[in-house]
A and B are shown apart, each in its own frame.
Chain A
Amino acid sequence: MPSITRRTALQLATAAAAGLPRFAIAQADTRPVITIAVQGIANTNTLDNLREQSNVGERTSLMFNERPIDLDYTGDLALRPGLATAWRRIDDATVELSLRPGVKFHNGDEMTAEDVAFRFSPAMAFGDTRPVVNGKTLPVAFSAIIGQSSKQVPAEVPPVARRLWPGLDRVEIVDRHTVRFVNATPDVTIEGRLAAMGSEIVSRRAFEAAATWLDYARKPVGTGPYKVREFTPDTALVLDAHDEYWGGRPPVRTIRLVQVPEVAARINGLLSGQYQFACDIPPDQIQTVEQNAAFEIQGGPILNHRMTTWDMHEPSLRDPRVRQAIGHAIDRQAIIDGLWAGRTRVPAGMQWEFFGDMFIADWKVPAFDPAKARGLLKAAGYKGEPIPYRLLNNYYTNQVATAQVLVEMWRQVGLNMQIQMVENWTQIRAKTSQRGVRDWSAGGTLNDPVGSIVSNFGPNGAAQQAGEYENAEFSRMCVVLETSADRALRRRAFKRMLEIAERDDPAYTILHQNATFTAKRRDIKWQAGPSFAMDFRPGRFAA
């Protein structure tokens, strides 16, 4: 018989005292563990939204992160208090935030103005870039770039941060729970930017404690309802409930996001009970899932529009009437009914209702009018010259099928588009003699046109930078939108931009609003919102 000394007895008693309460808590935690099958977790293998600016990154970000201003994701996407309880304008270039007291990071620290200011500092975001002045983004100084093993942010982060915050000069700390965002130029979009991806607040102490930037970015310490337990790139992201969450006790104990690239594998995993949610379900699989009464599809239109764009310098596309004809030849509703099971819609051009007073309600995309399209082509002297259409293999949902439908619609009016399958974006954008038309999408990254039409087609946007489009008046209007605080003037400028880019001298034509679909068990109470983000905050989930 083993002898028990007094010391052993004391050790056993201590262990029991320490162990029992934990065991009791574990026993009491009856919250479910859920597994979500996703196509991808992060394109860049990091979880910092100043690098991970993707749709898949948006899906998970708000599970472990929060922004100063929140959006009503289950409603109209209006601004509402987040980590800031209130905000007010000091002047056209300054917004003051009152931070929510008592908010705890995942490491137990209280969030303060120090953390907010640090997030928007050169050390964590902007590097040595400077604010945009007169519509021009200043270049990055490459000499400051250090490798991935350094604590300094990767070279690509400052330009991303600067695009999200082109005019931000500094963040001033007023007191422990008050900060001021000071812009170099007037900017009416500061509040919108505080609610957009890239404004997630993380713990300064945790960032400084991480050995490298990569270590931080693989396990960011935020304030969201779930904390990162483990991130295995290209494989899984495991999140545990953050029970000190200011918004209440999270309803799920553990969320496991597993990367399952194949659609069939995601659906099979859902049907076999291995996953509770399967994301990125293509429309043609909706019926397959819903044939089983135990499952349903959630989701619909999101803040993203699919469009056809082009190189206006392609010989056949130089005449704007040919580009106008492209828009009038498309029966958008037929595409929605045929390929999207009617589950999305034709939007009012490159804008969304959550633009508020900047939304041009009476604006419409070009009407489906084949006769008008034929007339425009005839007037332009177009005689069926081939126009290349570089196409990726379903980078966007339904992309190839949509392209085939479009080519047929265009053929009906006399446009000779010729599909050229390519493998990647380099080949799409290669500036050869004939670049023709291509597919693209635009997201409503913030509640103002500067986040979409200016960002994509403005002087610093990808289209102009790639030499696909230019229009002097359009570019001038972009600067008005970026720098003017006169709301009426900005609204007029935006309307004129829509007229130019979608009608007079077209830069693109909108096809339809994008949609995303998530399959789930019917007995789980959860509602998808109009974005990629999945919301599992208190009150948003019940099983």
Chain B
Amino acid sequence: MLRFLALRLARAGVTIVLVVTFAFVVLRLSGDPALTIMSPDAPPAALAAFRHEWGLDQPVWVQYLRYFGAILHGELGQSMRDGRPAMALVIERLPATLMLTVPALLLKIGLGVPAGIHAALHRNSMTDRVVMAGAVAGFTVPSFVLGLLLVLVFAVHLGWLPSGGDDSWRGAILPVVTLGLGGAGILARFTRSAMLEVLGQPYIRTASAKGVPWRLVVRGHALPNAAIPTVTVVGFMVGTLIAGAVVVESVFSWPGVGRLLVVAVSNRDLAVVQCVLLLVASTMVAANLTVDLLYGLLDPRLRGQATAGAH
């Protein structure tokens, strides 16, 4: 088991190094932070001074080695635009983002999983069709369209909720709903198809034939077996908690990590971008690892395979 974990962690480390390197190369070769931060009309001497101050006048490979060396020493660099440590900037924005993404995740699970189960148990009924139509609409309508639609109805016409901003908790309602509905649609689809597949298995028929009440068949046999694909999707959603609201934060002027990332990328503020990417990659890797471990808990056969694979 330890070897299994060590392998997973090593792979995660390589993934993170690749992400960081890719981001560095793309950002460094595609734009000059001096021009975006200081404006293209800044005096050439000011641009030169800015580049010198931040080491941008060095060859790219020198910049990369310096940057990577600093990361190994736990130094993630300073924002060129803000002058403060990049990690401090990201951490400052993290609560705002989690204020949207955590309730949205709960909404996705709370709405999507029961809806998917209900649709599967009432396959081809009117309820099933309504749930699936809603689910398809939920994940096919882009979040910026859904967000603007909700704003038009609930902020502009009805005046019930703010159109954006983080002035009060009420400002979080529309973005949470926007994020939640799309994810709930995805989860409902996955849960329904997983349930349908399980419900068609011989052991379900056997349990029913033996006279086990249908309620107990579903709870004791169908749900645990259908949970694995659902857990995989939920794990992926957990991985997007930090940077999964980029579009929604822009639509609702929500000052979270997503907006910070957009601004940092457009300004080529490398340290901040890297910091966000590191956090995102780490969260994603941790979520995947947790899902892998959960597989073992949900299905003893997989636990055995993982252990066997590790030896």
Contact = CB atoms under 8 A, between A and B. Distances in A.
B82 interface: yes
Contacts of B220: none
A424 interface: yes
Given A148-B78, A159-B45, A268-B156, A43 B53 contact: no
B272 to A, nearest CB: 11
B35 interface: yes
Interface range for A: 35 or more
26 contacts: A44-B37, A45-B81, A53-B39, A54-B39, A137-B45, A140-B45, A154-B50, A159-B44, A159-B49, A160-B46, A163-B46, A214-B84, A233-B82, A260-B164, A261-B250, A261-B262, A262-B250, A268-B148, A268-B155, A268-B164, A272-B151, A273-B159, A424-B32, A427-B31, A428-B40, A462-B40
B49 A274 contact: no
A265 B252 contact: yes
Interface range for B: 35 or more
A53 B42 contact: yes
Contacts of A233: 82
B288 interface: no
A162 interface: yes
Contacts, number: 149
B309 interface: no
Interface of A: 37, 43-45, 53-54, 137, 139-140, 142, 145, 147-149, 154-160, 162-163, 214, 232-236, 258-262, 264-265, 268-269, 271-274, 423-429, 443, 456, 460, 462, 465
B253 A426 contact: no
B163 A272 contact: yes
Contacts of A273: 159
Contacts of B84: 148, 214
A323 B278 CA distance: 49
A426 B49 contact: no
Given A53-B42, A137-B45, A426-B31, A265 B156 contact: no
A271 B156 contact: yes
A311 to B, nearest CB: 15
A140 B38 CA distance: 16
Nearest to B151: A268
B152 interface: yes
Interface in B133-165: 148, 151-152, 155-156, 159, 162-165
Interface string B24-45: 0000001110011111111111
A145 B151 contact: no
Contact of B152 (A44, A235, A236, A268): A268
Contacts of B53: 145, 147, 154-156
Contact of A139 (B45, B260, B266): B45
B36 A274 contact: no
A426 B263 contact: no
Contact of B42 (A160, A236, A271): A160
Interface in B107-131: none
Contacts of A262: 250-251, 253
Contacts of A269: 155, 162-165, 253
Nearest to A50: B46
Contacts of B266: 424
Contacts of B296: none
B52 interface: yes
A30 B44 CA distance: 49
Contact of B39 (A43, A147, A428): A43
Interface centre among B44, B253, B255, B260 (most CB of A within 10 A): B253
A139 B43 CA distance: 11
Given A265-B253, A272-B156, A462-B41, A234 B36 contact: no
